[in-house]
Amino acid sequence: MLPWLGKRRKHKGNRDIWLRTELEILQVAEVLGPHEPRYRREKRWEWVIGDSEGLSLDLTRDRTQPSADVDLQILRCDLGNFGQGLIALIEEKIESIAIGEIEHGVWVDPEE
């Protein structure tokens, strides 16, 4: 399992962006427009990795539940923080497909 999955979110920094959407993960990737997206899945998780806006981005979601019922997480593959300008650009691209708020912060271990 990828190290950042299965954790709760807490606003501290801007390493992750998450939203809920009814779209399938590959449809969300089309909206973001990464170059040559690569799709993978396992029993529980699915993800798309591709280069967009000069960064390698990872879109990740639990695929065992309906799409609209789980958060879709967008993060940088280098686990760096998104700058405010990049957050605004990504939010602009995904605002029309989001259900509710688009949030950003850092996913942390519940014991922290």
As a whole number, mean pLDDT of residues 30-41 equals: 93
Considering the domain boundaries, does residue 107 fall inside one? Answer: no
Q: Name the residue with tokens 């029309």.
A: 96
Q: What is the pLDDT of residues 15-33, one digit of tens each?
A: 889 999 999 999 999 999 9
Number of structural domains (the chain) is 1
Beta bridge partners of 17: 74, 104
Q: What is the mean pLDDT of the chain?
A: 86
* Domain containing residue 63: 8-102
As a whole number, mean pLDDT of residues 31-48 equals: 93
Spatial contact of 73 and 16, defined as CB atoms under 8 Å apart: yes
CATH code for the domain in which residue 14 is found: 3.30.160
Q: What CA–CA distance (Å, rounded) separates 74 from 19?
A: 9
Considering the domain boundaries, does residue 112 fall inside one? Answer: no
- How far is residue 11 from each of residues 67, 98, 104, 108, measured CA to CA in Å? 23, 19, 7, 9
Q: What is the pLDDT of residues 60-73, one digit of tens each?
A: 999 999 999 999 99
